[in-house]
Structure 1
Amino acid sequence: MKKLFYLIAMVSLLVSCVSKKNQAIQQNILTLKDSYCKAPFKYNYNNKLPSYNSDSILTANKELSGMFTDQSVLILNALGNLDDVHKIIELKKDSSLTSQVKILQLKTKINSRITIALTELDAVAAEFDCEGERVAQIGSYVDNLNASRNNKLILYSIIAGAASSIAGGIVKSDGWDNAIGIGGGILGAGFGLATLNPKGKKVEFIHQRNLLRDIWKEKLESPNFPPFIWYMYTEKKFSNKEEYSIIGNMKLRWLHYQFDDVKEAADRSVIFSDGGFYRADDLNNRAAMLNQMQSATRTINQNINYLLLDLDKLIL
């Protein structure tokens, strides 16, 4: 009786531990479902985008071509500082102290706009990074579920094979011996084939603030991005070959590598929706796409760095 009591107590303890572990896992999943990456408050950006008439802008400011790269001129226009640069050029013709002070004031104004642009870049890149980490955590959870499931199926397959072998050795009837052997083989094979399920487990993952949706649609339909950042994403002059914009090139890569060039599948993908049930492959794709956008966002810093170098040459 005492042994039975101890046995019941041990079983109850194990059940309690498993239950607490499951509760902890579910709590973590609930935490990850609700994005903790978005800003704590909503900033109402000016929705007006800079002009995309890049050729006209460059032609109208061709006198700057010897001092600034085309990309620098376009960035100055996007920031609203082109007039300030023209004023600096005129003021440099006068070496008086008053002119020097005005030049410094104008440079401070330009630097202030550039600083805001840099902080916007950092903020967007940080959100991409955070979202990528959030997806990776969910993906790791699903991978663990799939690995645990496969391990169980492999174990069941081994047990089925061992059981059929033992039973075959015990049963002397040839008919029953063959039946047990065949049945055990089929059962073991069934468990083995079940481990090859390409889809595996799935988990609900919500992202109503979906940064990737605007990128895929190439339309700024939400306040997810500041206008300056969106302009840098979508102006072809800032991409390497200038045939497509930064996000245009990104879309082509996603379509080829993530969706096997099937646009209909991409358009229907849960990745570009408000969220839903994800499988491991979808989560891995989403994490990769977020990381790629983070890298693309950070590369814009190179253009701004060149602008700062050009400005220093102008002022000094």
Structure 2
Amino acid sequence: MYRYDAATAPLPSIQPVLDSALTAHYLRRNLLIANAAGVLPQLKALTQLERTAQQQPSPAHTLAALAQRQQVLARLQLMATSIASTAAELDCEGERADQVAGYLAEQEDRYEQRLTVLSIGVGAVAGVGTTVFDQKIPQYAFGIGGGLLTAGLGLLTLTSHRTIAFEHPRNLLTDIWEEKPTSALYPPSVWYCLQEKAFSNQGETSVGHNTRQRWQHYGQLAQPNSPKGRQQQALLFGQGGKYSVEELRIRANMLNELQAAVRLIEQDLQALLLALTRTS
């Protein structure tokens, strides 16, 4: 569970806080990222204090504005830390899935190599057996038996897909897939940015929703109502289970894509910091 100070939670709507001074100095996207950081009321107070310091110059007014600016910057730094920690967790989980997939793939390759060598050996013995014996019955026995064994080994090679237990009780994919309005796994600032439509390229659907839509091209997620689709959803978005190499790589790709979406929030945070620099 992610614990946070409710006083710094984003407001449901920024509209009641806006005034002409805020909209004159900051773009709407700047104001939304300030709300994500839980600092929009403080930013409004800063614009008022700076205007007072300009209209009525005095050490007291200047110090008040500087103190308020420092408070705003501290909150924004806290949000930057939240973004970095979330991205790091996603990166760690993606790397973990990728490493286990590599290990499992190596085990499968070794098993297939053994079966291939055994199949070649059986074929060689069967071939020699058909030439050694003069009688037809032994020749047929070696030929047919060797062929059946070779076919069986080939079938084992094709169906030798191993699985491995892979647990993830804290699953950062779940809340995105279920499109929850709130999340106990993500920092409020990060979750707000993933759910606010204005942060997506088109501004029509949220970044979280767009990410979920792209996930539906992976594996059986394209058929969410099929038996295999439901089974894969329970595996990927639950607390773990028996994974194949393909499923581990699907999970790693999903985590990496979500990590990229989280890191993009840094661009909007940087834009707000630049806007603050211009108004100082």
Partner of 1:111: 73
Match of 1:239 among 187, 190, 200: 200
Deviation of 1:212 (Å): 1.0
CA distances 1:18-42 after superposition (whole Å, capped 9, x unpaired): xxxxxxxxxxxxxxxxxxxxxxxx7
Q: CA separation of 1:50/1:221 partners in 2, compared to 1, >3 Å: closer, same or farther?
A: closer
Displacement, 1:239? 1.0
Residue 177 of structure 1 is matched in structure 2 by: 139
Q: Which amino acid aligns with 2:212?
A: K
Give how far 1:63 is off. Answer: 4.3
**Using the alignment, how far apart are the partners of 1:293 and 1:74 within structure 2?**
21
| Alpha-carbon offset, residue 69 of structure 1 | 1.9
Distance 1:51 1:259 in 2: 38
- Higher mean displacement: 216-225 or 150-159: 216-225
Identity of aligned residues (%): 33
How far residue 297 of structure 1 moved from its aligned partner, in angstroms, is 0.9
2:167 aligned with 1:211: no
- Give the 3 Å change call, closer, same or farther, for CA 236–290 of structure 1 in structure 2: same
Distance, in Å, in 1 between the alignment partners of 2:193 and 2:75 is 15
Secondary structure of 2:82's aligned partner: helix
Instruction: Tell me the SS of whatever aligns to 2:241.
Output: strand
Question: Could you tell me how far 1:183 is from its partner in structure 2?
Answer: 2.1
Residue equivalent to 2:260: 295
Residue aligning to 1:190? 152
Structure 1: state its 5+ residue gaps. 1-41
Report the count of equivalent residues. Answer: 271
Unpaired runs of 5+ in structure 2?
none
**Is residue 307 of structure 1 aligned with residue 264 of structure 2?**
no
Of 10, 23, 48, the residue aligned with 1:50 is: 10
The question of whether the paired residues in 2 share the 8 Å contact of 1:46 and 1:227 is answered with no
Deviations along 1:230-264, one digit per CA (max 9) or x if unpaired, are 11111111111112211101100001234352123
Within 2, Cα distance between the matches of 1:167 and 1:85?
88
After superposition, the C-alpha distances for 1:87-109 in whole angstroms (9 at most, x for unaligned) are 33333333333222122111100
TM-score normalized by the length of structure 2: 0.88
1:72 to 10, 14, 30: 30
Residue aligned with 1:263, SS: coil
In the TM superposition, what is the alpha-carbon distance from 1:222 to its structure 2 partner? Answer: 5.7
For the structure 1 residues 47 and 250, does the alpha-carbon distance in structure 2 shift closer, same or farther, using more than 3 Å as the test? farther
**What RMSD, in angstroms, separates the aligned Cα atoms of the two structures?**
2.2
Post-superposition Cα deviations, 1:90-144, rounded to whole Å, max 9, x if no partner, equal: 3333333322212211110000000100111111111111111211221112111
